[in-house]
Structure 1
Amino acid sequence: MTMLTGGTSGTTNIRRLIKRRFPLLAWLPSYNFQTFSQDFLAGITVALTEIPQGIAYAIVAGLPSQYGLYAGFMGCFMYFMLGSCKDINIGPTAIMALMIQPYVSSMGIAGGILITFLSGCLIFLCGLLHLGFIVEFFSYPVIAGFTTAAAFNIASSQIKSLLGIPGKSDTFLTAWISVFENIKKTRLADTLMGFFVIVFLVIAKEIRRYGSLKQRPEWTRKRYIIGVIIFMFSLASNAIAVMCCSVVAYIFKQYGQMPFKLTGEVRGGLPSFTLPPFSTNFNGTEFRFEDMMTEYGTVVIFCPLIAVLEHIAIAKAFSKGKSLDATQEMIALGVCNIMGSFVQSMPVTGSFTRTAVNNASGAKTPACSIITGIMVLVALGFLTSTFQYIPKSTLAGVIMVAMYYLCDFQAFILLWKSKKLDLIPLTATLVCCLFINLEYGILIGLAVNIVFVLYSSARPKIEIEEISPLYYLVKFKSGLHYTSAEYLREYILSMCTSPNSTVIIDGEYIGNIDATVAKSLNGLKDELQIRNQNIIFWNFKKTVINTCLGVNSDLGLNVKEESLEQIIAS
């Protein structure tokens, strides 16, 4: 009977594990037509944003336009199978495009595809090892500085396309230098169209608050319908802008004129399913696998790390209080990138913009992802001939508006009001990401942030109250670490100077100490004895006392468990 119970329990655990790793098995049995209709609407709406963004982000990465669509459909299909968050949309993002752009420039298309595979493998491995806690080391100031710098960088790279200026640039500085050097080559038609798109998208974004898919009690039916139309119009604004501008360009082409720079031919059809390239030849230079790894450098670590950071942050934002299985999300993201590399995808992660559209459109399950993926496939199969008429300035406008809303300007105000010192790591990250590169910028930002953390732990808040000329009460308002060992000893010695007095150390807020702090407390006792002063360890936890006794068993004589009044009275 026991064996049978054990076998049943084991089978149940396996089923739970399978459902956890394949979340669609949990919601698919209860799936119905009403849920499908809402997912279908959300999937179509997101696709209208993903298709122009996929083309635009591929251009940012330096890849042919269709590669952004390859990334979009495979990310959607795999997340449908493995994703646990109903709103998340997986696909190409501006930050991922910016991170791989230098390596596409140096190694060609293969440089973008291989980093997708490597990132996927690393993310998947981190998911299996439950290493999601790594993202907790990125503080809000560092993340805000990084995303704002990335947005500035990407927007700056699009200024030339917006103005119709020729040339190419890889960094924030070179982009603006190139703009000022070629400002006289500005094309009026491209500039007007680009700024028209920007104004249109900003207005569409701002009027969204006047529409809603939920009727309010005070609304008439007519007002509700108008609100829904405005809302849907706003959600599809990217696609509407791109389609309208493409129609304008097509009309000019029919009359033998072309005042706009166009995206050019986009290869249609599905990509071939093949292994990611582990070597390549680009511009006459042969790159073996080890050469490609050397070329990548630190991006092999930071590309997957930023992908996870972006994805988990978005998943948490839209989980709405529900528990988030970070391990499953990392596994899903890893598989999306691994499988994507087999269809020539660029790196993918969660997109905040498209996830917000998904949520606003009323997505109910991850099934909306497969609807979006199918729409992208339809675009690849039947609409690529029309993509060649998309003006570059239109895509530049789409990207620049998206980057404006990606900038975390509110972070500066928030930190100024709450803790001004946090502006230092934010500014350090922002400046270094802009003027060096993203990987080193975030490393420097982390280092600056860690310095502040270490300084804080090295200078704990200590309150010393002189109860009487013969007694001092020392209180620590935070834990003690080895970095503060020497400071606390010197501070207490300098503040508690009355001869023949007793120093009472209150250990209420000391949760744990290391051997360095224990040795410092032992040294403090010896130095106070030389000055004819006594020390008492009061209100200490047993684990802390045991650490002190491990350094010097005689410290047990200084431990008191009586009340403070009894200690003073004795």
Structure 2
Amino acid sequence: MLDLIDDRCAYGLYSSFMACFVYTIFGSCKDSPVGPTAIAAILTRENLHGLGPEFAVLMCFLCGCVVMLMGILQLGFLIDFISGPVSVGFTSAAAIIIATTQIKDLLGLSFPGSKFLDVWEQLFEHISETRLWDTLLGFACMAILLLLRKAKDIPVGPADTNKRTTLQKVLGQMLWLISTGRNILVVVVCAVMAYTFKLHDVEPFLLTGYVKPGLPPFQPPPFTATVGNTTYSFLDMTSSLGSALFVVPLLAILENVALAKVFYDSLLCLHFLVLSNAADGRAIDATQEMLAIGACNILSSFVSSMPVSGALSRGAVNHASGVATTFGGIYTGILVILSLYLFTPYFAYIPKASLAAVIVAAVVFMVEFHVVKPMWRTKSELNCHFGSVFRSYMSIKIFCLLHLPTELDLIPAIATFLSCLFIRLELGIVIGIGINILFLLYASARPSVHVEKVTSGSICSYQFTLSESHIFQSSSGCEYLLITPDRSLVFPSVEYVRNLVTKAGMKEGSSCTPVVIDSRHIQGADFTAAKGIKSLIEDFVKRNQPILFYNLKPSVVEVFQGVQPKEFKHCHNEAELNELLKEYAKKLSQRNSIQINEINGRQL
């Protein structure tokens, strides 16, 4: 992973120790080893535009500031807008891009380009330059890594560990250790092999090359940089980094939250993430985690680090190793410092093909093809309105919307995946989030409305008949049209609901049956909704059709009354509803009697 940013691998090592110490103090998730990750590395590389590591260090500092500011302002709820399908599409695309950028090292090729399409184009142009020994070493390392990955699953003795002998337990632990440390094992063996060839003046492999030994100087991140003959000011540097300054921090938080959710029973709330530790019942505050990740990035930038966050693969090793506290990061940081002091001269002998094989073998499992089938099976209902659809069930008529079953979760997943793959990673995740927000807005603007004719419990004594339709049935009670919206009324949906209620009242209610709007699901309303309801009441008043509101919350009544609608009638219980229906029936009966008398008088 270290060469995902720049050919100078030291910057990957510089990113691996300071965050360990900082997170030990400020962090709260014991299994979160904060450091460089493949996704952060590829995002950083895409936004450097070949300008040099100074820009990566500044990005680390600014990302830390953004994450810390989000923690202070408690903006963790923004992570909720990155849905599972968007995360899957982004992660899978990033894994494929990372693997693609390593193909040239697997084949021993050297050409510029880090974009998905550019790499494949260059690959076909330079395929004739493939180096045989690098290719054999690279694919052999990948095969060995994939085999060793399964070594820990080899059963040694009975399934019940208490029944295993001492030898079986030791063998099981050895297999687990070999499987867990397979990456370092393969890299060390390949480096020894390359060093042996070097002693005999044979160089069959492309090597990593010189890595600067020692610790980096502790200094503020660069706020100006000179690349070639061009000097970049702070504003020039930040503008060149672009949207990555906001996308990388979001993904850093997302990775850390995802890691915590894997190893703890979790409940993600809007402003507070409660993660129940099965061992000691501690709780992890999402705000504290954001402050910790922010501090890790800010302080790491003082030692020439790239952006860092929690890594799921390293977290799995920590969890399986039985790490009990965040103090485990101290050991990781010390080991990295010792490596910088003692082993950097030997890094020069690591074949590039072996490093590429390690990266490819790690990221190939980040491509989440296995979730496509569950997403296909999980069908969502998109409430698409194609007009008024009426269905008749015996004597009860129900007005409903047309429900179109579609695999909606696949749409943002595929859009994110393709956008990340063929455009840019940060733009791809923004596009995926945008599509999800459009779905949320559509659901808000197009609520489901249930309409049916019902009869009140009390018998209405008023009975009349118009030319074609009757309004009240004295044999069973007062008949009215019950309309039930399934959510709150806000400005995107008020016109839609108003049109549905008007059409239902005119068509199903024959413009005379009383309409009762059951408001039990309306938890809130705004000024636009109140104006729409006022216009709706006026429409009903013009055609002398009663309209009542039932089960309105006091806060919603206050909002509606704020626009001073005339003839606004609302009731809180069934008794009040029946009384109002009786009153309307009496008035309508008297009016119809007058109309009938006038008609009879004209006929005479």
Q: How high is the TM-score relative to the length of structure 1?
A: 0.86
Residues 401-438 of structure 1, C-alpha deviations (whole Å, 9 max, x = no match): 22112222233222111131121111111111111111
Q: For residues 319-358 of structure 1, what are the structure 2 equivalents within 5 Å?
A: 319-321=264-266, 322=276, 323-358=283-318
Aligned residue in 2 for 1:437? 424
Aligned residue in 2 for 1:491? 500
Structure 2: distance between partners of 1:325 and 1:204: 37
* Distance change in 2, residues 1:224/1:108 (3 Å): same
Structure 2: distance between partners of 1:123 and 1:60: 23
Amino acid in structure 2 at the alignment position of 1:474: I
Say which SS state the counterpart of residue 441 (structure 1) adopts: helix
Structure 1: distance between partners of 2:575 and 2:253: 51
Matched, 1:504 2:516: yes
Aligned residue in 2 for 1:466? 453
Contact 1:155 1:403 in 2 (8 A): yes
Matched, 1:366 2:375: no
Structure 1: distance between partners of 2:564 and 2:191: 80
Amino acid in structure 2 at the alignment position of 1:508: R
* Distance change in 2, residues 1:565/1:293 (3 Å): closer
Structure 1: distance between partners of 2:364 and 2:430: 24
Structure 1: distance between partners of 2:50 and 2:144: 36
Contact 2:548 2:568 in 1 (8 A): no
Matched, 1:201 2:145: yes
Residues 167-200 of structure 1, C-alpha deviations (whole Å, 9 max, x = no match): 1212111011111111111112111111122222
Structure 1: distance between partners of 2:68 and 2:140: 42
Structure 1: distance between partners of 2:43 and 2:498: 48
Structure 2: distance between partners of 1:179 and 1:149: 19
Amino acid in structure 1 at the alignment position of 2:361: V
Aligned residue in 2 for 1:245? 190
Aligned residue in 2 for 1:476? 485
Which of 263, 272, 283 aligns to 2:208? It is: 263
Matched, 1:404 2:364: yes
Structure 1: distance between partners of 2:49 and 2:569: 70
Superposition deviation, residue 507 in structure 1: 1.2
Which of 88, 107, 116 aligns to 1:163? It is: 107
Residues 99-136 of structure 1, C-alpha deviations (whole Å, 9 max, x = no match): 12144443212111111111111212222222222211
Which of 510, 518, 539 aligns to 2:530? It is: 518
* Distance change in 2, residues 1:499/1:128 (3 Å): closer
Amino acid in structure 2 at the alignment position of 1:274: Q
Amino acid in structure 2 at the alignment position of 1:260: F
Contact 1:548 1:555 in 2 (8 A): no
Q: For residues 420-459 of structure 1, what are the structure 2 equivalents within 5 Å?
A: 420-459=407-446
Aligned residue in 2 for 1:395? 355
Which stretch of structure 1 is more off in the superposition, 465-474 or 181-190?
A: 465-474
Which of 544, 549, 554 aligns to 2:556? It is: 544
Q: For residues 149-228 of structure 1, what are the structure 2 equivalents within 5 Å?
A: 149-210=93-154, 216-228=161-173
Matched, 1:286 2:273: no
Say which SS state the counterpart of residue 343 (structure 2) adopts: helix
Q: For residues 529-568 of structure 1, what are the structure 2 equivalents within 5 Å?
A: 529-554=541-566, 556-563=568-575, 566=578
Matched, 1:139 2:148: no
Aligned residue in 2 for 1:34? none
Superposition deviation, residue 439 in structure 1: 1.8
RMSD of Structure 2 on Structure 1 (CA): 2.1
Q: For residues 25-44 of structure 1, what are the structure 2 equivalents within 5 Å?
A: none
Contact 2:550 2:572 in 1 (8 A): yes
Aligned residue in 1 for 2:599? none
Which stretch of structure 1 is more off in the superposition, 443-452 or 206-215?
A: 206-215
Structure 2: distance between partners of 1:95 and 1:87: 19
* Distance change in 2, residues 1:148/1:369 (3 Å): same
Contact 2:13 2:340 in 1 (8 A): yes
Point out the structure with the larger strand share.
2
Which of 222, 247, 255 aligns to 1:302? It is: 247
Amino acid in structure 2 at the alignment position of 1:424: I
Amino acid in structure 1 at the alignment position of 2:265: K
Aligned residue in 1 for 2:345? 385
Say which SS state the counterpart of residue 161 (structure 2) adopts: coil
Structure 1: distance between partners of 2:451 and 2:32: 52
Contact 1:212 1:228 in 2 (8 A): no
Superposition deviation, residue 547 in structure 1: 1.1
Superposition deviation, residue 563 in structure 1: 4.8
Superposition deviation, residue 63 in structure 1: 4.8
Aligned residue in 1 for 2:58? 114
Superposition deviation, residue 71 in structure 1: 0.5
Amino acid in structure 1 at the alignment position of 2:173: V
Superposition deviation, residue 211 in structure 1: 6.5
Residues 68-124 of structure 1, C-alpha deviations (whole Å, 9 max, x = no match): 111101111111121111110010111111112144443212111111111111212
Structure 1: distance between partners of 2:48 and 2:366: 24
Contact 1:84 1:329 in 2 (8 A): yes
Say which SS state the counterpart of residue 537 (structure 1) adopts: strand
Superposition deviation, residue 483 in structure 1: 1.2
Contact 1:70 1:271 in 2 (8 A): yes
Structure 1: distance between partners of 2:47 and 2:561: 57
Structure 1: distance between partners of 2:260 and 2:84: 16
Contact 2:156 2:171 in 1 (8 A): no
Superposition deviation, residue 533 in structure 1: 1.6
Structure 2: distance between partners of 1:141 and 1:261: 39
Say which SS state the counterpart of residue 74 (structure 2) adopts: coil
Which stretch of structure 1 is more off in the superposition, 351-360 or 60-69?
A: 60-69
* Distance change in 2, residues 1:184/1:279 (3 Å): same
Structure 1: distance between partners of 2:161 and 2:580: 67
Which stretch of structure 1 is more off in the superposition, 220-229 or 296-305?
A: 220-229
Structure 1: distance between partners of 2:571 and 2:558: 11
Structure 1 stretches lacking a partner, 5+ long: 1-55
* Distance change in 2, residues 1:132/1:565 (3 Å): closer
Superposition deviation, residue 207 in structure 1: 3.5
Structure 2 stretches lacking a partner, 5+ long: 267-275, 277-282, 380-406, 456-470, 472-478, 583-604
Aligned residue in 2 for 1:272? 217
Amino acid in structure 2 at the alignment position of 1:138: I
Aligned residue in 2 for 1:52? none
Q: How high is the TM-score relative to the length of structure 2?
A: 0.81
Structure 1: distance between partners of 2:48 and 2:244: 13
Which stretch of structure 1 is more off in the superposition, 475-484 or 69-78?
A: 475-484
Contact 1:211 1:230 in 2 (8 A): no
Structure 2: distance between partners of 1:494 and 1:208: 66
Residues 281-340 of structure 1, C-alpha deviations (whole Å, 9 max, x = no match): 112211111211221122222222222222222223323341321111111111111111
Contact 1:80 1:367 in 2 (8 A): yes
Which stretch of structure 1 is more off in the superposition, 249-258 or 549-558?
A: 549-558
Aligned residue in 1 for 2:463? none
Residue-pair matches, total: 514
* Distance change in 2, residues 1:558/1:569 (3 Å): closer
Amino acid in structure 2 at the alignment position of 1:462: V
> Which of 1 and 2 has greater Rg?
2
Residues 125-161 of structure 1, C-alpha deviations (whole Å, 9 max, x = no match): 2222222222112111111111111111111111111
Amino acid in structure 1 at the alignment position of 2:297: N
